[in-house]
Structure 1
Amino acid sequence: MWAKLALKLFFREFRRGELTVICAAIALAVLTVLTLSMVTDRIGQSIAQKSSAFIAADRVLASSHALPQSYLEKAHSQNLKTAQLTYFDTMLFANDEMQLSSVKAVSPEYPLKGELKIKARLDAQVEIVNQGPSAGNVWFSESVFYALNVKVGDTVELGAAQFTIEKVLVEEPDAPFNIFSSSRRVLLNSADIEKTQVVQPGSRVFYRQLYAGEESDINAFYAWLKPQIKENQQWYGVKDRQSPIANSLNRAESFLLLAGLLGIILAAVAIAVSAKRYCERQYDPVAMMKTLGGSRDMIRKIYLLHLSMVCALSVLIGLLIGFGLQDIAANYLAKSMNNTLPAAGIKPWITAISTGVICAVMFSIKPLLDLFDIPPLRVLRRNLGDRLLVSKVHLAMSAMTVFLLMWLFSNNLKITAILFVSTLVLIGLLFLVSRIIFGGGRKLGLRPGNSWSLAIASIQKRANANSVQLISFALAIKLLLFLVVLKNDMIADWQSQLPNDAPNAFLVNITESELPVITDYLAQKKIQVSEFYPTIRGRVNAVNGELVAREVSLQDNEKKDEEARSGIGRELNLTWLTQSPAQNEIIDGEWFSESATGEASIEESMLARLDVKLGDTLTFLIGAQSFDAKITSVRKVNWATLKPNFFIILSPDVLADFPATYISSVRIETDQKRDFSELLRTYPTVNAIDVDSFVKQIQSTISQVSLAIGFVLAIVVLCGALVLISQVQASLGERMQEIVILRTLGAKGRLIKNATLYEFLLLGSAAGFVAALVSDVALFIVQREMFDLAGKLHPHIWIIGPLVGGTFVAVLGYFMIARTMRKNTQGLLRSLG
């Protein structure tokens, strides 16, 4: 009996649209979580896999001492691929020429990720291979050919052995991005290291072990490896390195996580508003059923069945649409990225279903319990039960639910707490602002028969309800503005670091005598070149007269002087400039004056590493000569730009008597490569470091991340629109009653329509203005704390917020009311009945 009645009521309410918004809200929450989770998971895997080419593996174990073979054996037993690298510098001899070069000896498995690009000869086409040179052969970078005056097929001496030059090395996936490292690159088979007799006790050698495989297998291996890692060993992945790609990936992950959390907040607000409104609409039917003898138990069963059916239907719809959306999005993104996206795991499905069930139950349970307590006398006294409209318990349960959903989605308690608390503070501020706005409206002089007067009177009449609406509108607009502006700032920051005309090569080791000639040649060939920086190698030897600890060799059983001050155990690249570089920001102190003598400007991380402060004196050692310089400024350096950067910059007088070489970044277009090669042939001592492929990979990754962020933003905008729709839908019944009364009193349709439009316009504009202000303050904080961006205010959104908010809410609200306005008074009365 009750089941038949329950189904009849269910389909009746569904046709009326009361359950439609709840169903749509729950479904949107489910599809939002599923789509965001699956798309971000698949994109994250794809970008991470592609970005792994920057280190030629998924993970790397690095050390300045030989690494145990037992690590590789254990990795093989856990289904991981491995490779080994050995780096050292040595002299090459050929044709009575010699050249210091950087050698990388690789095992046959190298590279595990990415590609090697080679040429059969200097003027041949580029080929792609997946394995290094065979034993007895070497590959040279182009600059080595010019320096030694050799060609492919010639013989070269490397240490105690002779090798055949087999290929021209064009590109390595994990070539070090360091403009001060040698561009004289040599690729050698690791089996040939021993016969070169170059690596001896005390030699400066660096070792790498590469690992690749499933993330679960890598994590299991690292769990075994971690207790055994020594202080001189380092385990890292692509996102652990300080590089533009690592920063881009980390920022993108933070944005996608933030967007997902805000999307859940918006969907949850829509569900909470819709569920509460539905239960309020059922007060009269419940009172009627109780009057006709319906028991509390029967009513409970009816509405719990409604909740179960809505939940099941919504979750199913959300999963189907969400899977379809993510599949469409993934296919589109895969084509844009020119890469097949990996399949997502089971976690997004579990998270999405859990979100739908939790939303349906937690946001509905308190309004349903209130619904069961409606007295039968409400059929005679319509105000009975209105005390249940505002429930602190419901608000507390809703807040707790939102927190749990955010935590479930992010799996990060810190980020969840920050966003949740900031949202609560925002709601509190908005409520106070709404009371001031609506209270102030009572003092305005109103004229009867005026649309504006009618709109303001309507706002005043529903002050409490409008406060809730204002908060919901402002919250939705704030989150949308927040994400849109943050997205634009992030992408603008990335593009400013790597614009389309970014340098794609560096010239290093230019002598002072060569500088004028090379400068003229570059100008003649119209090759874009940045400023030339003088450089010299030096060491920080003391701070305020106190010697710093030098680097020791554990291999030679040297011991560190525990009493010495901590310092930098290697030489630094020093420069001297009259003006601060454009990519540097002075954050403390002042830059050198024209009469500066013996001054130094230090980068902020080096300041902390040396444990020094403004006014301290650093003693530098260059060769056998030492000199002092006083720290007068601290700089924040943007290391992501493809320009030379320095930890320490000295005033020009300090290094005036030291011989230096110069470096600069250049932009080589395709039609200028022949001219650039001619420059290198003419000046074989000048090193050229080609970073063109590096720049292209970075720009490609940023483009992919930007595309993913745009898609996520579209989903969140949909959530925001649903919040606005649910708020307008919640007040639809009351507005219909007002329209009936106004028409009965003789009000014209044009007056009512304009008043409705103006009311929504005022609410939307007020919400947009408050949202813009709060959003800008929140952006300022989040940009600095979460995204390492320079926090700044955005005055333009203070105008855009009210305009967009007022227009969007007014248009949306007006068209939702328009259907009601087209009905005659008799039709409206039937709808209310």
Structure 2
Amino acid sequence: MLRTGSLWRPWRDGAFRVLALALGIAALALASVVLLRAELDQRFTIRSAEMLGGDLVLVGSEPPAAEQLALLSALDQGQVADFPTVLVHGDEMLLVSARAADAGYPVYGQLQSAPGRFDATRPAATGPAAGEVWMADQALDRLGLTIGDQVQIGRQPLTLTAVIRQEPDQGAGFYSMSPRVLFNLADLDATGVLGPGTRVRHRLMLGGSASDIATATAALDPVLRPDQRLRTLEDAAGRTRGPLQQLTLWVSLGVLLVSLLCGAAIYLATSQRVRKRARMAALLRSFGARRGQVMQRLLGEEFIAVLPAVALGTLLGLGLIHGLRALMGWQDPLAATPGDWVAVLAGPLVLWLAFALPRLSTLVRTPAMQVLNDRISARPVSGIVELAAALGAPVILAALLTGSLTELGQLLLLLVVLGALLPSLLWPLLKVLDIGSQRLPLAGRLAIRRLSRRPGLTLPLLASLTIAMAVLALAGQTGSQLLNDWRERLPEQAPNHFVFNLFDADLPRFNSWMAEQAAIPQPLYPVVRGRLTEINGAPVRDAVTKENEDAQRALNRDLVLTEVTDTTLPDSNRVTDGDWPPPPGTVSVERELAMNLGLRRDDTVHFVTSQGTVTATISSIRDVDWDSFEPNFYFMFATDGLVSQDITWLTSFWLPPGDGARLAALLRDVPHLTVIDVNALLDQAQDIIRQASRATALLAVLLMAAAMLVLGAALLGAQAQRGRDNALLRTLGGDRHLIRRVTWLESLTLGSAAGLCATLIMLAALYPLGQRLFSGALPWSGWLLLPLALGLLVAVTGVSLGARSQHQPALGLLRQE
């Protein structure tokens, strides 16, 4: 049995206090990042569900059948029908994109509406009641409507009661958007507009638990009609990009890096602690104690002693997440699953046991006489295996917690393999230096021999310093790069209005209005609507498989085509195959669409337009950031490639804050113009970026704390041995000047080697980081120099710590255990 007084005895040892601090920071960091990851996962899922309209959506050209609805009665439901129609007010008519929605819409998110044309936006839980209609701003301006006016859709008169500002599932591209109209599904039949051949899309949006959604999916699959298909969250998540998805990956990386750092610190502190407990284990075995009893005595006492540090760290991490949630305005219950809580509570102890058990088991297998005579020899092979296990265990644990083995596996493998192998690869270099040190001055010779003749101390120390430096530099690199990308994506004066249907004759009046309102214009893009009909001379229906739903959707509608007016590649585009700009007679194609249609470079595509046909050869494939709030296109033709077509102009601009009367004046002068206000979307995106920035700052602080802990534990771990070495030099007649030079050279060699290893790791990690977080771009920056700067800091700190031993009695240092 353990005595109560013995539970606090380990705290008297400095090595145990370092171990307890490492476990406390590991508990704080793991609790914070695991819970933060759960919060971000939940919000990413919610955002995807809002864009999709539900956890599962049944789409068809006809409403769902009664028997299908019966299968889904346990789920939240919302039905909508989307179709183009004509809105009539007196003698005026306007083509609009109409949506009829029932009381269950929206399943996720909130509608944004306003009680008047120039009133503030407010959330709405449901859409208009029967007999009412809501319209977008431009529809009111076009028809000169005010709240309370009556309009007619087909045969049904409706009363205007609110202005639509934003719909939660309005995730389609801007190009397909006419002025929006929303009314109640109960009025749809009375309008009489849905006759045979009408272009209408019925959507049944479903919400519920994951198990209920899985059951509904399995039940619907056998009864789907030919015109129906199911859209899932995976479909929406595949198209959802932007800061939230990048931040989720970044936090996953943070979990892994923090675990790796804390594991390295625990490894160093455990190594020191085990060395100090070796003599006790040998004495117990000499008096007849069995191995199990020795392990129980050594582990049991310390297991209870570290619990307060782990509990305190976990509570601080939980408090940190609650503070972050309050700062970000997150009101929902904590998103962590039972598995997350098990990881938060047990993770630090699992890390400790992963390091303590192998070291202690080695200790109890070593003959007691060897321990008592200080003849424990470190075998390099077993040391490297131990080191690899120490680096791999926290990474595997964190990867399993975050589910990031697939997304970040390449980077993880690099960190573990290089962290373990680079120091051992440098070991032959140290041995060569040791052999060649005979020609060096005495100080250099002693410094090199201190490092080369203690592999059991030097290798773990070098590996830990390398990992800490590499992780700090990687954290700073990725965090700063993400923040820069987000700021560049949404600058302060990002375009908040998009303009369509702008003709050549409208440009003077439009430019004059822009100057009057101090608006900041963006480039003008010539656009033509065309339908893809042939690929390499074959009808497109024959060239594209019918099983590819994404391709079929692209074929069943007109595409917006443009031509290059500026040879500079748009910021939101990146050429992945081919050259830019497209040569005459060629076209550049968006990568995802090209993949769905099976298009490659040198293929020929043929379009039918209002003025005939357009044929071009594909010269390049582009990756497009559709979340950039910039005009983007599937097909971009060479300059003058659309010169014979009916061209209209598309552009965007930033309009300073103010009321909507300015836009109303423009639409009165140019009534056919379509202006899309995206301020609500910008506000939502900027809010996400603000939250992402705060979360990134929190993660950076945790990584910094963990990295500093590793650096401190590594240097403190070597301090005792360095003090004994210096004491021996003093005993043999070495003066303080010699000791200072030896300490400087030893620390500088160690710091430089670690900085070099960390720089090599960073260079190797740039490619997987660029692929996963930065769309293939390599994030070069000044952070690559950080490991070398940290190496110099390690050298200065090592000298500072070594100087303390010069003021302690040499005999006392030599007798220290």
Look up the match of 1:44.
Answer: 41
Q: For 1:504-653, what aligned pairs fall within 5 Å after superposition? A: 504-549=496-541, 568-580=555-567, 581-583=569-571, 584-591=573-580, 597-623=584-610, 625-653=612-640
* 1:378 to partner: Cα distance: 3.9
Look up the match of 1:233.
Answer: 229
Matched, 1:98 2:93: yes
Q: Extract structure 1 runs of 4+ deviating beyond 6 A.
A: 7-10, 559-562, 564-567
Look up the match of 1:137.
Answer: 132
User: Matched residue of 2:531: which SS?
Assistant: strand
* 1:686 to partner: Cα distance: 0.4
Identify if the C-alpha distance between structure 1 residues 729 and 175 changes in structure 2 by more than 3 Å, giving closer, same or farther.
same
674-683 vs 129-138, which moves further: 674-683
* 1:59 to partner: Cα distance: 4.7
Identify if the C-alpha distance between structure 1 residues 308 and 399 changes in structure 2 by more than 3 Å, giving closer, same or farther.
same
* 1:8 to partner: Cα distance: 7.8
Contact 1:282 1:371 in 2 (8 A): no
Look up the match of 1:722.
Answer: 709
* 1:574 to partner: Cα distance: 1.1
* 1:187 to partner: Cα distance: 1.0
Whole-angstrom CA distance in 1 between matches of 2:80 and 2:746: 70
* 1:191 to partner: Cα distance: 0.4
1:796 pairs with one of 782, 785, 791: 782
Residues 513-561 of structure 1, C-alpha deviations (whole Å, 9 max, x = no match): 1123212321343211111111111112112221111899xxxxxx999
Look up the match of 1:431.
Answer: 424
* 1:397 to partner: Cα distance: 5.5
AA at the equivalent of 1:267: C
Look up the match of 1:16.
Answer: 13
Identify if the C-alpha distance between structure 1 residues 636 and 118 changes in structure 2 by more than 3 Å, giving closer, same or farther.
closer
Contact 2:378 2:456 in 1 (8 A): no
Residues 354-411 of structure 1, C-alpha deviations (whole Å, 9 max, x = no match): 4344333332223223322443444774325556994576457546644652453234
AA at the equivalent of 1:109: G
Whole-angstrom CA distance in 2 between matches of 1:320 and 1:74: 49
1:362 pairs with one of 343, 354, 365: 354
Contact 2:258 2:702 in 1 (8 A): yes
Look up the match of 2:693.
Answer: 706
Look up the match of 1:501.
Answer: 493
* 1:693 to partner: Cα distance: 0.9
Contact 1:63 1:207 in 2 (8 A): yes
Identify if the C-alpha distance between structure 1 residues 285 and 132 changes in structure 2 by more than 3 Å, giving closer, same or farther.
closer
Percent identical residues: 26
* 1:694 to partner: Cα distance: 0.4
Contact 2:626 2:632 in 1 (8 A): yes
Unmatched segments (≥5 aa) in structure 1: 553-558
Matched, 1:294 2:281: no
Identify if the C-alpha distance between structure 1 residues 533 and 46 changes in structure 2 by more than 3 Å, giving closer, same or farther.
closer
430-439 vs 480-489, which moves further: 430-439
Contact 2:422 2:757 in 1 (8 A): no
* 1:464 to partner: Cα distance: 5.5
412-421 vs 305-314, which moves further: 412-421
User: Matched residue of 2:505: which SS?
Assistant: coil
Contact 1:85 1:107 in 2 (8 A): yes
Identify if the C-alpha distance between structure 1 residues 348 and 120 changes in structure 2 by more than 3 Å, giving closer, same or farther.
closer
Identify if the C-alpha distance between structure 1 residues 400 and 331 changes in structure 2 by more than 3 Å, giving closer, same or farther.
closer
* 1:801 to partner: Cα distance: 1.7
* 1:296 to partner: Cα distance: 3.8
* 1:692 to partner: Cα distance: 0.9
Contact 1:618 1:629 in 2 (8 A): yes
1:825 pairs with one of 800, 810, 813: 810
Whole-angstrom CA distance in 1 between matches of 2:92 and 2:500: 20
Look up the match of 1:555.
Answer: none
Identify if the C-alpha distance between structure 1 residues 239 and 523 changes in structure 2 by more than 3 Å, giving closer, same or farther.
farther
Whole-angstrom CA distance in 2 between matches of 1:409 and 1:585: 34
Contact 2:48 2:233 in 1 (8 A): no
Contact 2:81 2:203 in 1 (8 A): yes
Whole-angstrom CA distance in 2 between matches of 1:561 and 1:805: 54
Look up the match of 1:169.
Answer: 164
Contact 1:30 1:315 in 2 (8 A): no
Instruction: Give the TM-score normalised by structure 2.
Output: 0.90
* 1:510 to partner: Cα distance: 1.0
Residues 192-234 of structure 1, C-alpha deviations (whole Å, 9 max, x = no match): 0000011123211112223344555545544555665667423
Contact 2:594 2:600 in 1 (8 A): yes
Look up the match of 1:440.
Answer: 433
* 1:58 to partner: Cα distance: 4.9
Whole-angstrom CA distance in 2 between matches of 1:560 and 1:282: 67
Contact 1:548 1:565 in 2 (8 A): no
* 1:500 to partner: Cα distance: 1.8
* 1:664 to partner: Cα distance: 0.3
User: Matched residue of 1:765: which SS?
Assistant: helix
Q: For 1:325-336, what aligned pairs fall within 5 Å after superposition? A: 325-336=317-328
336-345 vs 161-170, which moves further: 336-345
345-354 vs 399-408, which moves further: 399-408
* 1:306 to partner: Cα distance: 2.5
Q: For 1:670-685, what aligned pairs fall within 5 Å after superposition? A: 670-671=657-658, 673-685=660-672
* 1:21 to partner: Cα distance: 3.0
AA at the equivalent of 1:609: N
Whole-angstrom CA distance in 1 between matches of 2:340 and 2:552: 51
Contact 1:548 1:567 in 2 (8 A): no
* 1:414 to partner: Cα distance: 3.3
500-509 vs 150-159, which moves further: 150-159
Contact 1:85 1:104 in 2 (8 A): yes
Whole-angstrom CA distance in 2 between matches of 1:313 and 1:12: 8
Whole-angstrom CA distance in 2 between matches of 1:201 and 1:125: 41
Contact 2:101 2:182 in 1 (8 A): yes
Look up the match of 1:556.
Answer: none
User: Matched residue of 1:728: which SS?
Assistant: helix
7-16 vs 489-498, which moves further: 7-16
Identify if the C-alpha distance between structure 1 residues 447 and 701 changes in structure 2 by more than 3 Å, giving closer, same or farther.
same
AA at the equivalent of 1:383: R
Instruction: Give the TM-score normalised by structure 1.
Output: 0.88
Look up the match of 2:303.
Answer: 311
370-379 vs 31-40, which moves further: 370-379
Identify if the C-alpha distance between structure 1 residues 709 and 84 changes in structure 2 by more than 3 Å, giving closer, same or farther.
same
AA at the equivalent of 1:422: L
Contact 1:358 1:401 in 2 (8 A): no
Contact 1:62 1:209 in 2 (8 A): yes
Whole-angstrom CA distance in 1 between matches of 2:750 and 2:274: 25
Q: For 1:211-250, what aligned pairs fall within 5 Å after superposition? A: 211-214=206-209, 217-219=212-214, 221-222=216-217, 224-225=219-220, 232-237=228-233, 240-241=236-237, 246-250=241-245
Look up the match of 2:77.
Answer: 82
AA at the equivalent of 1:482: L
User: Matched residue of 1:513: which SS?
Assistant: helix
Whole-angstrom CA distance in 2 between matches of 1:494 and 1:47: 17
AA at the equivalent of 2:425: L
Contact 1:550 1:568 in 2 (8 A): no
Identify if the C-alpha distance between structure 1 residues 36 and 174 changes in structure 2 by more than 3 Å, giving closer, same or farther.
same
Contact 1:765 1:803 in 2 (8 A): no
Whole-angstrom CA distance in 1 between matches of 2:756 and 2:468: 12
Contact 2:52 2:236 in 1 (8 A): no
Residues 29-53 of structure 1, C-alpha deviations (whole Å, 9 max, x = no match): 3443233212321343356446755
Whole-angstrom CA distance in 2 between matches of 1:532 and 1:350: 55
Contact 2:24 2:312 in 1 (8 A): no
Look up the match of 2:792.
Answer: 806
AA at the equivalent of 1:806: L
Contact 1:478 1:772 in 2 (8 A): yes
AA at the equivalent of 2:236: D
